[in-house]
Structure 1
Amino acid sequence: MKVKDYSYETFPRYTMEIEGALELKGNKENLRCRMYDIEYQPGCIIRFLFPNTILDEERKYPLVVHVQGSGWYHQDMSDHIFDFMPIVKAGFAYAIVQYHGAPDKKYPTQVNDVLKAIEFLKENYQNYPIDFKNVFLSGDSSGGHIALLVALQNNYSFKGIIDLYGITNFMTFNDWYSKYDWYEKENLSDFLGSLDEELLIEVSPMTYLKENMKLPPFLILHGDKDHVVPITQSIELYEKLKEYHYEVTFGRVHDADHGRSIFYNEDVYHTIITFLKKHKQD
């Protein structure tokens, strides 16, 4: 056959009968998830998860900037790739942000790293299938903590904030059950360098939540059997956002621990995708 410069649509489909073959339907609307890493500063990457379809290579997708949790230590950047795939397949890109970990680098390095990643995305989004008028900020655990500090201290126009079992107030951290006493656990001292009360207040996102701020909608999700970060951390943030009349949705995930398989399930995916679709700009 003569070679031609075929497009997908013009390439001839083989339609002759194949005896004994199974006839399986293809889905032209199906999205796959592909991964792409870029170093946005020395020693730190952004791990992109992009929807991909052969039919629409020029499409731009709403972006979720996600801060990967790690107890503030060096992050496992592969930890949530499969957890986020259902959301990517629903048509949303992810930019998972790596920060410099404790104890080598201490606060506020992690916050500043996320700010640098956001600036990198602002300057380079044209090079990727990103719709930059639709950017959400997300984070889980310590990453949720850092994301909340960014959201509440900086004037970025996110379409929404997704807090997945993040730390909100170190002054009330030990008020509910946890496997850890955080004043004895090394994570916090490795992250901060000390447990000075003024510093603990400074790094608590609740410190920065005030009335009449220009805040986007919030989605907060937390398992009610979380043995690491007490669910009361998320309840405190939720109730204060409601008190100040901000738009917020809280989801208690029954029987879920600190993330993991019970947490990342169909109900959670449906809730996140519904939130993203509701608040993205058409």
Structure 2
Amino acid sequence: MKFPPFIEPSNITFNDFPESGASAEGMRVIQADFSRPYCKIEKVQYAYKSGISLYLKMIIPSQCTVQARKLPLILYVPGSAWLKQDLDSKLLQLGQFSERGFVVAIVEYRPSTIAAFPAQVKDAKTAYRYLVAHAEKYSIDTDKIVIWGDSSGGHTASMVGLTFDEQALDDECPVEQPLSVKAVINYYGPTDISKMNQEPSTCEHRLPDSPEGLLIGGVNVVDNDALAQKANPINYIHQDSFTPPFLIFHGNKDRIVPFGQSVMLFDALKNAGKKVDFYQLKGADHGQAPFWTPQVLDIVERFIRHCT
């Protein structure tokens, strides 16, 4: 039997590579659709602080599908009651935004059991600067960066958006390495931790070993209001300084972070003349499926596109 000659491999681009002419009876053909990005996940160490490595979980649209153009960045801070985070908990949900043409970076902060407030805010800013420094590698448009977080991550995102110039809340020099977050998305984040038990809740928010007590150093929240107020984003809203637009979502049956916490933040931003949109998810608890429906995600995407 005579076999066809071997074809030596060669470095051919995809566009120049020939389509196979082989066929088979009964074979069906579907035209390849390249309209949706193909996304990959990468874990990256962005810092080493307080004796631990801090990581980003990146969700990145592939270069083949985005044609090497620069993309907006979503810096996402997952909630954890300021304790150890699970960076994988929302990979499926946030992957939808990567498919919509965003680079997503899920940020790990130091847990409050290792470093109290404002460590979490400082870490998010360090992650931002790491990504700006590596923007070429990840195809990031540094003029289109937004920060988004849920629960304690929503609190951290709000603090980052309101404290661009606060040296006490920064591990790097803001003059040499300024931040330029274009928008903040806050999913059901705490605002004034001293008032969280003034509404119905299934959690204790006042004691030294509560999430809020641990956040400010393992002390009673009510007895240490000065510390609590340092962690209150409302106290960093200033009429005469730039504030990026805010988008807030909160369920009105939230059993962990009372709905009124977002009402406080919305009212403070609105009264200071800042741009802010606020959505109550009627009947929703603390996170879960209602916050990731196509309707809600379309609102979030329109907001980000408008701001960037």
Superposition TM-score, scaled by structure 2 size: 0.85
Partner of 2:110: 100
Taking a change above 3 Å as real, the CA distance of residues 162 and 12 of structure 1, as seen in their structure-2 partners, is: same
**Do the aligned residues in 1 keep the contact of 2:153 with 2:189 (CA within 8 Å)?**
yes
Taking a change above 3 Å as real, the CA distance of residues 55 and 33 of structure 1, as seen in their structure-2 partners, is: closer
| Structure 2: tracts of 5 or more residues without a match | 1-6, 166-178
Partner of 1:168: 191
Partner of 2:227: 199
**Structure 2 residue corresponding to 1:208, chosen from 236, 243, 246:** 236
Q: CA deviation at 1:113?
A: 1.5
Alignment of 1:60-139 (within 5 A): 60-139=70-149
The yes-or-no answer on 1:226 pairing with 2:254 is yes
Please identify, of 254-263 and 49-58, the stretch whose mean Cα deviation from structure 2 is larger: 49-58
Partner of 2:26: 20
C-alpha offsets along residues 110-152 of structure 1, whole Å, 9 cap, x if unaligned? 2222222222223222222111111111111101111211211
Letter paired with 2:119: T
**Do the aligned residues in 2 keep the contact of 1:8 with 1:55 (CA within 8 Å)?**
no
Taking a change above 3 Å as real, the CA distance of residues 55 and 121 of structure 1, as seen in their structure-2 partners, is: closer
Alignment of 1:232-271 (within 5 A): 232-271=260-299
C-alpha offsets along residues 5-36 of structure 1, whole Å, 9 cap, x if unaligned? 22222222235553223333321111122111
Q: Runs in 1 of length 4+ with deviation above 6 angstroms?
A: none
RMSD: 1.8
| Structure 1: tracts of 5 or more residues without a match | none
**Size of the alignment, in residue pairs?**
280
Letter paired with 2:192: N
**Do the aligned residues in 1 keep the contact of 2:79 with 2:152 (CA within 8 Å)?**
yes
Aligned partner of residue 54 in structure 1, secondary structure: helix
Partner of 1:150: 160
Taking a change above 3 Å as real, the CA distance of residues 26 and 225 of structure 1, as seen in their structure-2 partners, is: farther
**Distance in 2, Cα, partners of 1:137 & 1:8:** 36
**Distance in 1, Cα, partners of 2:246 & 2:210:** 30
**Distance in 1, Cα, partners of 2:145 & 2:108:** 18
Q: CA deviation at 1:274?
A: 0.9
Please identify, of 50-59 and 113-122, the stretch whose mean Cα deviation from structure 2 is larger: 50-59
Aligned partner of residue 220 in structure 1, secondary structure: strand
Identical-pair percentage: 28
Q: CA deviation at 1:273?
A: 1.0
**Distance in 2, Cα, partners of 1:145 & 1:55:** 34
**Distance in 2, Cα, partners of 1:131 & 1:15:** 41
Superposition TM-score, scaled by structure 1 size: 0.92
